[in-house]
């Protein structure tokens, strides 16, 4: 088998936007927006995520008030 053809596979820390950290192994580093500690499906709390003003743009377009 050829040497030096595969990326380095080692321990990494995945960091969520809520501050949760997870240790795993991967070839890349990850920063995630939502995890099982803050996802509404797992926590039972509803959460409105406004990605780049899409909710406000929808309300302006269709005349809905806040």
pLDDT at 3: 82
Query: Could you give the CA distance from residue 41 to residue 39 in angstroms, rounded to a whole number?
Result: 6
Edge-to-edge strand list for the sheet holding 10-16: 21-26, 10-16, 31-32
Task: Please determine, looking at this structure, whether the domain spanning 10-62 carries the CATH number 4.10.80.400.
Answer: yes
- Whether residue 8 has pLDDT greater than 80: yes
Helices (H) and strands (E) counted in the chain, each on its own, are 2, 3
Which of 47, 30, 29 lies closest to 38, judged by CA?
A: 47
pLDDT at 66: 55
All structural domains of the chain with their residue ranges: 10-62
pLDDT at 63: 80
41 band by pLDDT with thresholds 50, 70 and 90: low
């Amino acid at each position: 088998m050829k040497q030096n053809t595969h990326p380095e596979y080692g321990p990494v820390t995945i960091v969520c936007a809520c501050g949760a950290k997870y240790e795993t192994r991967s070839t890349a580093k990850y920063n995630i927006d939502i995890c099982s500690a803050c996802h509404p499906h797992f926590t039972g709390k509803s959460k409105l995520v406004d990605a780049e003003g899409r909710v406000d743009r929808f309300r302006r377009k269709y005349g809905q008030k806040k």
